Amino acid sequence: MDATIQMMIQGYIDGLESMNTSDESIKQEIEDYKKELLSFAETQNDAVTFFTKFQDSGLMAKYMDLSSKITMGTQTQSQASSASGKPTVTPEKWLEPFRTAYNYIKNLPIRERGLAVYRKLFEIGEKHSDITEFLLEVEKENLLWKLSSEDAIGILNITYTGMDFLYKGLTYPIRKNIEAWNNSVCEADAHYLQDCLAEDIAATPPRLLQPEKYVNNLGLHIMIYRGPKGKEGIMEMIATGNCPKPAFIGNASNMAIAKLQARRTMEIIKKSVGLSFDDILADEFLRYKLISTSNVCGLSKAYVQSNPNIIDLMADAFKNEIMTDISLLEAIKREPSLKLGRWRMPEDREVERAQEIARDTFKNLPYFKYEDQLKGNSFHIGSGDGFEIKPF
Amino acid sequence: MSGIKTSKELYGLYVHRFANCPRTPYQAEYYKKWLDLLESCSSNEEAEAKSKENGLYTAGAAAVAMDRVFASKLAAEERGWTDVAEFCNDVLQKIKADPYYTFTHTGMWDDIQAKKDKWIRTIEGFHRLFSDFIEYNDTKSDPEKTVAAIVDDLKMLSKPSSDFATLAALPKFRALIDCNDDIYKEFTDTVIKASTTGRLEKIQWNIESYQNEIEELWEKRNTLEDECRQWYSQEVMPPCVRLSPESEDGKYKFIEIK
């Protein structure tokens, strides 16, 4: 299982396990959910798209339902105790399962926001010997609901720190989820907001990703025109004197086809999303979608790629060659005036080095701190369920 | 030990929270009944005894479940998911008639979810069809692959209709796609053509107009040696790691990999 996915699902499982419930049917639901979640996670290889797929699968909504059900169940029990006026229930006794849950998760930084609610609950518990007075203060701050909502917000916030903030199509579901949990005051309220969100999340991120798809296509055509299968391939053949005619003609034909295709794609981009080439270059996120990149850290937190100056080479080729009537011969003749240098794709060892650099840069972010904490530790999901996540 | 006054204050807070949330009428009603009961009693013990007699003592779980179903119904009505709203309404009536319905029919939550999923999957399918179109329309070089993808993705459509043309004509679905009306028409025409004929046009990229240029380039290749050697002798720029910015309006940072 992908390490990042492993970390995310562990957060959700810890979340459920920390909320003690005496309700046997809910306990069974938790066990079933854990199995379903693990089966789903095993089928996912891409941490970047995991969260969206997690949403789409309905497992996120189910998680919310379950956690809410546990919290509301606890609340109903406490209210019954309160109304009955039975002297046996004291805040200290009532808080026992919460202390157990707290001890279970207290060393997990990803849960800090939820842990703060537990601590607040304990603090109030120490002030009161009477259960009704205690619950009154707890209700004034809606703490029982916050055990669920703050915990979820905390996990989502930490997940967010592992993302590329400019990647709106990716961050949108997380940001909207945080908003929904923040705006909810109880389980049914959260349930409603999640239902509204489900439609929004199905509709909006793909729309946000549409320009990226077009720009990917455009970049591919420019790269074929400009790169080793086109212009640069020809220049290398001439420079090294190794100039077989079929390969030479093949590259020249690629230049010609790519020129036509790039022009057409640019026209489609203008018509479809109203962007000019300069708009693409000016967009900090989109300009790098012109080239091939690979995620090397977290949820698209860092990428390995060719030198960014390649964008200048591509922009020059697009503006001064592809979109003009300059001949293929003239296109090569003008090359020395550019003096932008040559470029190459990253090699395997450089991909590894990029991973190291990225990890070192972001090591203090909560997402990566949590990931580091899991490293080397085999941790158990629940008890007696037969599932164990191995160290990665 | 606090008395009934504190209980009233506590239940007053519950009523306030749930009555102020438009998604929780059943819990608001439940706690209001408790509050009324407490108002009519002189002790917590008396209130407990009476709540057991009138069924209020065990009605909390049903109120929680009903609000959850009600929340789904509300969201469904607002989105025009009529079948989901009707189903939720039906479930609400069943819980009203039998407070233990939620415990004896646990599959109802999955049934509600399955109905919602059809609406969500239709939106996802519509987006996938547009992605198929983007890929195809770019170079029109692999129509067979596009037709297969379109046929597959059309299966995701079901609500409010499984017919693509019907959906494409709805403002809600038009709003899913960012493009001008010409491109949108090309998109819908492409999907309809692929699904009805099983075929799409393939573009043969005609480079005949470039043949002279290609020939010229080959013939004069030796005159380009200086330019090409100058280019070839330039330093190769090392690859980089691109680090995402610290905020949504920040810039990427680059570190050369050496």
Residues B172 and B228 in one domain: no
Q: Do B213 and A329 touch (CB under 8 A)?
A: yes
Residues of A within 8 A of B236 (CB-CB) are 341-344
Residues B60 and B135 in one domain: no
Note the pLDDT of residue B59.
Answer: 83
Q: Which of the residues A64, A84, A291 would you substitute to probe the B interface, choosing the one with the greatest number of B C-beta atoms within 10 Å? A: A84
Please, what is the Cα angle at A272 between A270 and A275, to 5 degrees?
A: 35
Residues B79 and B174 in one domain: no
The single residue listed with the structure tokens 């020939």 is: B215
Q: Looking at CA atoms only, how far is residue A268 from chain B in angstroms?
A: 8
Residues B134 and B99 in one domain: no
Note the pLDDT of residue A283.
Answer: 96
Residues B132 and B229 in one domain: no
Return the SS3 of A349.
helix
Note the pLDDT of residue A87.
Answer: 44
Q: Hey, is the C-beta of B244 within 8 angstroms of any chain A C-beta?
A: yes
Alpha helices (H) along chain A: 3-18, 24-42, 47-56, 59-84, 91-94, 96-105, 112-127, 131-140, 143-161, 168-183, 187-226, 231-240, 245-273, 277-282, 310-317, 328-333, 348-362, 366-374
Q: Going residue by residue through chain A, which has 392 residues, state the pLDDT in tens, using 9 for 90 and above.
A: 666 677 667 767 766 776 666 667 777 778 888 888 887 777 777 665 666 667 666 676 677 667 656 655 555 555 555 555 444 578 988 888 888 888 888 877 778 899 999 999 999 999 999 888 999 999 999 999 998 899 899 989 988 999 999 999 999 999 999 999 999 989 899 999 999 999 999 999 999 999 999 999 999 999 999 999 999 999 999 999 999 999 999 999 999 999 999 999 999 999 888 999 999 999 999 999 999 999 999 899 999 999 999 999 999 999 999 999 999 999 999 887 777 789 999 999 999 999 999 999 999 998 888 887 766 443 333 333 333 323 22
DSSP single-letter state for residue A183: H
Q: Do A136 and B103 touch (CB under 8 A)?
A: no
Mean pLDDT of B7-23: 94
Can you give the pTM of this predicted structure?
Answer: 0.82
Residues B62 and B129 in one domain: no
Question: What are the tens digits of pLDDT across the range B122-153?
Answer: 999 999 999 999 999 888 888 999 999 999 99
Q: Looking at CA atoms only, how far is residue A245 from chain B in angstroms?
A: 8
Q: Looking at CA atoms only, how far is residue B181 from chain A in angstroms?
A: 9
Residues B44 and B138 in one domain: no
C-alpha–C-alpha distance, residues A49 and A45, integer Å:
9
Note the pLDDT of residue A377.
Answer: 47
Residues of B within 8 A of A308 (CB-CB) are 240, 242, 254
Across the interface, of A335, A345, A347, the residue whose CB is closest to B231 is A335
Q: Looking at CA atoms only, how far is residue B31 from chain A in angstroms?
A: 10
Q: Do A304 and B218 touch (CB under 8 A)?
A: no
Residues B126 and B107 in one domain: no
Q: Which of the residues A232, A272, A312 would you substitute to probe the B interface, choosing the one with the greatest number of B C-beta atoms within 10 Å? A: A272
Note the pLDDT of residue B57.
Answer: 75
Q: Which of the residues B241, B247, B254 would you substitute to probe the A interface, choosing the one with the greatest number of A C-beta atoms within 10 Å? A: B241
Two structure tokens written together for A392: 């990665």
The number of distinct structural domains making up chain B is 3
Question: What are the tens digits of pLDDT across the range B157-193?
Answer: 999 999 999 999 999 999 999 888 999 999 999 999 9
Is residue B28 included in any domain, yes or no?
A: yes
C-alpha–C-alpha distance, residues B258 and B256, integer Å:
6
Please report, for chain A, the start and end positions of each structural domain, with discontinuous segments joined by +. Answer: 3-162+365-389, 210-354
Is residue B203 included in any domain, yes or no?
A: no
Which residues are paired to A388 by β-bridges?
A: A380
C-alpha–C-alpha distance, residues B154 and B162, integer Å:
8
Q: List the 182-221 stretch of B: residues with Cβ below 8 A of A.
A: 182-183, 205, 207, 210, 213-214, 216-218, 220-221
Contact between residue B191 and residue A195 where contact means Cβ atoms under 8 Å apart? no
Q: List the 72-101 stretch of B: residues with Cβ below 8 A of A.
A: 72, 74-76, 78-79
Q: How many CA atoms lie within 13 A of A165 on its CB side?
A: 13
Is residue B202 included in any domain, yes or no?
A: no
Residues B133 and B98 in one domain: no
Q: Looking at CA atoms only, how far is residue B196 from chain A in angstroms?
A: 25
Two structure tokens written together for A263: 């022009």
Which residues are paired to B253 by β-bridges?
A: B243
Which residue type does B128 have?
R
Two structure tokens written together for A59: 């497992």
Residues B173 and B227 in one domain: no
Q: Do B176 and A185 touch (CB under 8 A)?
A: no
- Cα dihedral sign for A23, A25, A26, A30? positive
Two structure tokens written together for B213: 């240029």
Q: What is the extent of the structural domain holding B237? A: 208-256
Going by pLDDT thresholds of 50, 70 and 90, the confidence category of residue B3 is confident
Q: Hey, is the C-beta of B134 within 8 angstroms of any chain A C-beta?
A: yes
Q: Do B21 and A186 touch (CB under 8 A)?
A: yes
| Cβ partners under 8 Å of residue A120, min gap 6 | A141, A143
Asked casually if ipTM beats, i.e. exceeds, 0.85, the reply is: yes
